[in-house]
């Protein structure tokens, strides 16, 4: 069984002070995809190159204290690709692909952090540009190899994916255009929303993000923003999925899925 976790750290140094490393040691995933590292190479040196015996690979933002994705793995990749060929968004550190290819298999694990549009119209337009660029990349990738993309997609796809869907229909993360993009990925591109394959009707237990305002976490007023998106053969291998809420490492919760394959 291959245990794969995804977690938006909202700052790796912040998450470290909240016990994420001890949790990882006990949790023992084969790989964890992380987003919003919010650090530069000197900040990682000597401290975060590896976590809980997993070796780290990173795609960091040019801007300090911003974005950045990584992937900690037990298995050594055959190749690592930082960025997906977008000058605008590769500068923001949003995509890391680790390839585990053999003569019989072409397989990738991807850690991705989609832009948020919640800070205003300018960033929402950037998010739309990202989605427009990213879809053809996924199309090309799917033609070439199997993959599992883990990450903070910053989109709640369906009404069951957030607590207050009625009042959020004009807000970033639940806009009709964003939801339509997710539908296109699942229906036309035929990627698998792995959590929903295993838990098609779950509401509150599916949430992975809570606002820091009010008592959103305590009241479970959340959103499902963190996903595993897999090519069909890999999605069919999923056996169990869980969102971990016993400890809080950031404003997101880790989502772990067990797959019936091994590297």
Torsion of CA 166, 172, 176, 178, to 10 degrees: -140
Active site residue 152: yes
**How far is the C-alpha of 239 from the C-alpha of 199, rounded, in Å?**
11
Alpha helices in the chain (DSSP H): 12-17, 20-27, 41-44, 87-90, 121-144, 176-187, 194-198, 232-235
Name the helix (H) or strand (E) containing 188. Answer: none
Catalytic pick among 30, 90, 146, 152: 152
Q: What are 141's two structure tokens? A: 């990738």
**How far is the C-alpha of 179 from the C-alpha of 52, rounded, in Å?**
36
Phi and psi of 224, rounded to 5°?
A: -95, 100
Which residues are known catalytic residues? 152
């Amino acid at each position: 069984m291959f245990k794969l976790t995804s977690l938006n750290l909202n700052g790796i140094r912040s998450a470290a002070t909240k016990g994420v490393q001890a949790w990882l040691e006990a949790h023992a995933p084969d790989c964890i995809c992380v987003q919003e590292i919010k650090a530069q190479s000197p900040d990682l040196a000597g401290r975060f190159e590896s976590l809980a015996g997993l070796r780290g690979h990173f795609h960091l933002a040019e801007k300090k204290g911003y974005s950045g994705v990584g992937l900690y793995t037990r298995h050594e990749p055959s190749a690592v690709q930082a960025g997906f060929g977008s000058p605008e968004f590769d500068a923001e550190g949003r995509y890391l692909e680790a390839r585990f290819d053999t003569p019989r298999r072409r397989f990738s694990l991807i850690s991705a952090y989609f832009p948020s549009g919640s800070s205003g119209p300018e960033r929402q337009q950037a998010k739309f540009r990202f989605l427009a660029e990213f879809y053809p990349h996924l199309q090309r990738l799917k033609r070439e190899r199997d993959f599992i993309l883990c990450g903070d997609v910053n989109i709640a796809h369906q009404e069951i994916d957030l607590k207050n869907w009625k009042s959020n229909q004009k807000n970033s993360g639940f806009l009709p255009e964003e939801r339509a993009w997710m539908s296109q990925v699942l229906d036309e591109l035929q990627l698998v929303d792995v959590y929903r394959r295993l838990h098609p009707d779950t509401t509150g237990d599916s949430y992975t993000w809570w606002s820091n305002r009010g008592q959103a976490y305590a009241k479970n007023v959340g959103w499902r923003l963190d996903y595993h998106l897999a090519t069909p053969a890999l999605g069919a291998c999923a056996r169990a999925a869980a969102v971990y809420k016993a400890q809080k490492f950031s404003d997101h919760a880790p989502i772990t899925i067990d797959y019936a394959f091994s590297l």
